[in-house]
Amino acid sequence: MTHRHKLILLPPNRVWRTYPGGRTLDTLAGVAAPADSHFSEDWIASTTRAVNRGREHLVEGISAVRIGLDPAPHDLAALIARDPEYFLGAAHVRKYGAEPQLLVKFLDSGTRLHFQVHPTREFARRVLGAPSGKTEAYYVLGTREAGAEASGYIYVGFQRPPTPAQLRAWILTQDIAAIEACFDPIPVRPGDAFIIPGGTPHALGAGVFMVEIQEPSDLVIRFEFERAGYVLPEAARFMGRDVDFALSVFNFAPLDAAALAARVRCTPRRIRDLGAESWQEELIGPAQTDCFRVVRTRLAGPVVKDETSAAIAIVTSGAVTAVVGGESHRLDTYEKCLFPAGLGPVQLTPAGGAAELLECFPPA
């Protein structure tokens, strides 16, 4: 069956992580008794392999997808390798080759995640010989607290930076109270968007369900070694290196309230009127990063989408009917699909009221 001019549908692709979570993902999958486990993430349209110490013999992270109405699974990385210009666009392939340069995930935290930091792209290329660092962004879908004012939280950047010597001592002694005192919790609510540049220390709080958009790597320094009873193997803490290497990844510049508002929290910017009270907003664009772009679309009536760039699309509110190539697909809340760059026109119609679509684009 040809993949051309077909919607690429994205079934769940659960991936093992060091922290527990995923109860919300179980609920979405219709599991009879939803529970947190170490399968706390769903990697969406992924061609990136997950790095899990002790599980190297398992191929985790690469998405199996469905082509249009065909129920058979297909390896997404293999599909793109066979037809990169159709999936990614000729300009993208000229610049980046057959790599999407994007990784998108559902992340559902059952506990606060480890304090961690990721390398910048420049550091990854210069020091690690890797093509990508791990600048990432968050789009909050929900929290586990009840009530209209419910919120979770994240930690981003040092509001009260330690010296490298202080942080080194706290890491070696695992003085988590001292490390945590360097941060202020940032409340998050559904619809919030944040950018976390490489080099920025951070941690996601418990009970947050979100979309994570990032450079396509699994490079991480975890400077907290134990969470929820799981102790990280030594090789999984500092990417197989020592604490002094880990410290070289950090940006120690303070992020006060003004800097957080200006450089971390992303304010929506209306970029396109689609008619019939429908529009697009840019959440993350060139002002925040050149690693990816994130757009939110409100659909109040039928809209024809015809892009020339690949996009990973997630229904974040309501339901959407997508018609392409003579096939009709209903996408309910939190279902997702891939629009290849060469797909052609797609008619999107909200089913039973307004709907919202989150679209994640590779770098320009």
pLDDT tens, residue by residue, 60-108: 889 999 999 999 999 999 999 999 999 999 999 999 999 999 999 999 9
Q: Is residue 3 part of a domain?
A: no
- In the chain, how many domains are there? 2
Average pLDDT rounded to a whole number, residues 114-135 = 95
Q: Do residue 103 and residue 245 come from a single domain?
A: yes
Of 232, 263, 294, which residue sits at a domain end?
263
- DSSP 8-state assignment for residue 290: S
Read off the pTM.
0.95
Which pLDDT value is given to residue 147?
A: 59
Q: Is residue 55 part of a domain?
A: yes
Q: Do residue 187 and residue 319 come from a single domain?
A: no
Q: Is residue 147 part of a domain?
A: yes
Q: Extract the tokens encoding 92.
A: 């993208």
Q: Do residue 283 and residue 193 come from a single domain?
A: no
Phi, psi of 305 (to 5 degrees): -100, 130
* Cα(328)–Cα(43) distance, integer angstroms: 25
Residue 331 belongs to what domain range?
269-361
How many CB atoms are located within 10 Å of the residue 234 CB? 11
Of 208, 234, 263, which residue sits at a domain end?
263
Q: Do residue 322 and residue 180 come from a single domain?
A: no
The pLDDT-based confidence of 150 (bands split at 50, 70, 90) is: low
Instruction: Give the three-state DSSP class for 128.
Output: helix
Q: Is residue 1 part of a domain?
A: no
Q: Is residue 239 part of a domain?
A: yes
Q: Do residue 252 and residue 278 come from a single domain?
A: no
Average pLDDT rounded to a whole number, residues 224-241 = 93
Average pLDDT rounded to a whole number, residues 282-305 = 96
Instruction: Give the three-state DSSP class for 61.
Output: coil
Of 263, 297, 314, which residue sits at a domain end?
263
Phi, psi of 27 (to 5 degrees): -60, -45
